[in-house]
Amino acid sequence: MPPLSGLDRLTKDAGADGIRRPPGSLEKYAEQLARIESALARMEAGRYGLCTGCDARIPLTRLKADPAIATCADCKEPENLSV
């Protein structure tokens, strides 16, 4: 059996500890994890720091504010995905 991805592990373990979580919190963490895994994939491909929308360089100040950001300010991600 192949190893579970971070998202699969998060989903598999959800509620296993008996802790009640606010509605939507698991989805929020799953979205954040997906953004981080996507950023890691861009690093491996040599594309980290380049906008996925227009290939422009993402300013360092923007990357420092959100290291998983995938777009420049002109191609801004929807607000509900920001960390």
- Closest C-alpha to 42, from 27, 61, 55: 55
- 28 part of a folded domain: yes
Note whether residue 18 is domain-resident. no
pLDDT, averaged per 10 consecutive residues of the chain (83 residues), comes to 61 63 85 97 98 97 97 79 48
Domain region containing 32: 6-13+23-81
pTM above 0.75, yes or no: no
* Stated length of the chain: 83
Q: Where are the alpha helices (DSSP H) in the chain?
A: 6-13, 25-44, 60-65
CATH of residue 73:
1.20.120.910
What pLDDT score was predicted for residue 21? 72
